[in-house]
Amino acid sequence: MDGEDRRVADGRSPTTALLLGLIITLAAVVADSWYVTRQIAGLRVLQTDLVDRSRRNSLQLLRVQNDLNQLGLAMRDMLDGDEPYPLTAWSAQFQRIRTDLAAALRSEQEVAVSRRTPEQQTYLEQSLAQFWDAIDRMFALAAGGQEAEARAQIRLSLQARQAALGTSVARLLRENNESEESAAARVQDIYSRVQRQVYVFLAASFIAIVLTSLYLIRSNRQLFARLASLSNQRRELAQQMIATRESTLREISRELHDEFGQILTAMGSMLSRAGRHTPDGSPLRAELREIGEIAQTTLDNVRGLSQSLHPSILEEAGFEQTIEWYLSTVERQLDVAVSYERSGTPRPVDSAIGIHVYRVLQEALSNIARHSGSKQAWVRLRLQPDALELEVEDHGRGLGHKSGHPGLGLVAMRERAELVGGSIEFGRPREGGTIVRLRVPLGPSAL
């Protein structure tokens, strides 16, 4: 027995290793699911927070930039010499733009993604405050009739301040676009990491499944090899037991036939001689005759018991005559009426095969008498060129009426069929009951 068989024989079940593999696989599934769920949740937050805020921030910065551009266009119109309107006519437009610009900047600060330094925030606020102070001074000069000075202030100061504010807003817009690109890169990185983790998980799961399957296949092969070995050992043991039983029964049968039979025969002869030397009408002669009849009856019983233990008629008269002799005794011994049918060309059957077929027939009829409740049985013997077929049928209760494991008789019949290289089947005829079919291969006939 090699190492694998020893492990199986020691009772080491693969269940523990299989459960461990299942736990590891489930733990990997749970861990990977948790990781993927967490990454997707973070991705959702990143998309809904950073990306959405960046988009809204860009819209507000574009709004601020548009307001600054409108201011630049208005100042260019104010410097146009062909414009018939006084500078104060633009005061309402500037106030509207100022209100919208303040609201846009407030909204932009609420959704700003990029983190600004306090210096940047202070510079932007101071620049706007100084710009609007200069606007107020310009409109004050225009309202005081100093249009030339007001236009000079626009040309020398306000346009430069407006350009500087536009540059600052453009820089903020560029930083916001960079933040948006960074967020998109982070989203792509998360997607890549999740994809890699999924691939790693699938590979690990595949490896775990393959290893578990290989271990299960290996364990099953060991188990089936051990079962096959045990089956072969059981078959060999059963065959040895059957052979030992037949040998023992043969010896007992021979002892009964030879020893006890000869003794009883000698006793009968002696009683006959003693009776002939006894006067007629003597009571002793009647008693001797009665004892002789008892001895003869005992001799007949011993010979019948010897034949039932091991039919020596099988070697003396052949297989078919043995079957016919046995069936003629069944009705008297088992109280079962047997209808016998033989077909095929008669041929010699080796006694080593015939004894097992005889035992199968004996066991089948015994089961009918003990379990089926039927008083009628049908026996069919078919002799074919290459095989022998035996059928024993009854219409009683059948094999299924008993619960539990099959009896030893059925097991013995299967073993005997295997011993002679044959096959046996237990079926149920249409009328109910049980039918036993035995088929035994035979060598080519010498006839």
Query: Which residues in 85-232 belong to E strands, given as ranges?
Result: none
Question: 309-326 pLDDT, tens per residue?
Answer: 667 777 777 888 888 888
The string of pLDDT tens digits covering residues 57-109 is 788 888 888 988 888 888 888 887 666 678 888 888 889 988 988 888 888 77
Block residue for tokens 């903020």: 172
Q: Tally Cβ neighbours within 10 Å of residue 318.
A: 16
Is 60 exceeded by the pLDDT of residue 11?
no
pLDDT at 7: 44
**Which CATH number describes the domain made up of 311-441?**
3.30.565.10
Q: How confident is the model at residue 176 (pLDDT cuts 50, 70, 90)?
A: confident
Tell me the pLDDT tens digit for each residue of 48-66. Answer: 666 677 777 788 888 888 9
What's the confidence (pLDDT) of residue 444?
A: 65
Q: Residues 142-161, buried b or exposed e (16+ Cβ, 10 A)?
A: beeeeeeebbebbeebbbeb
> Which range among 27-36, 84-93, 254-263, 369-378 shows the weakest confidence by mean pLDDT?
254-263
C-alpha angle 405/409/412, rounded to 5°?
105
* pLDDT band at residue 276 using 50, 70 and 90 as cut-offs: confident
Q: Are strands 434-441 and 376-383 parallel, antiparallel or unpaired?
A: unpaired
Give 13's DSSP letter: -
Q: Is residue 158 a contact partner of residue 79, using CB atoms and an 8 Å limit? A: no
pLDDT band, residue 290 (cuts 50/70/90): confident
Amino acid, res. 238? A
Burial 94-127, CB ≥16 within 10 A → b, else e: beebbeebeebbebbeebbbbeeeeeeeeebeee
Q: What is the pTM of this model?
A: 0.49
